[in-house]
Amino acid sequence: MATPQSPWAGAHEALAFKIIFLLIGQAGIRWTITLVLFIKDRIDDHRLDRALEADVHWQLQKAKERHVSLNDIYMDDDGTLRSATDHKPLV
């Protein structure tokens, strides 16, 4: 409450309001940019998840075509299906 009671604010009321509106506007723009970037990141994460899911599905189909038992394979950290015995990629 120091600003509204300040003698300078009373003498330069128009300038004080311009400064306040400028600061509020900058905060609003920054919040908007942050929200847009957050939404973009969420969309990108969703696309990556769908791509990984499609890739794993394709790898599982190839393993079934080759009559590989699902008990004999595992998925590594990169999403590659590997043989449990020799650890080589199936596809």
Which residue range forms the structural domain that includes residue 41? Answer: 12-83
Residue 26 lies in a domain: yes
Output the CA–CA distances (angstroms, integers) from residue 16 to 6, 12, 19, in the order listed.
11, 6, 5
pTM of the full predicted structure? 0.59
- pLDDT above 60: residue 1: no
SS (H, E, C) 72-84: HEEECCCCCEEEC
Residue 90 lies in a domain: no
**Local confidence band at 4 (pLDDT 50, 70, 90 cut-offs):** low
Mean pLDDT of the chain: 88
Counted domains in the chain:
1
Residue 45 lies in a domain: yes
Residue 48 lies in a domain: yes
For 7-45, what is each residue's pLDDT tens digit?
A: 877 788 899 899 999 999 999 999 999 999 999 999 999
Residue 88 lies in a domain: no
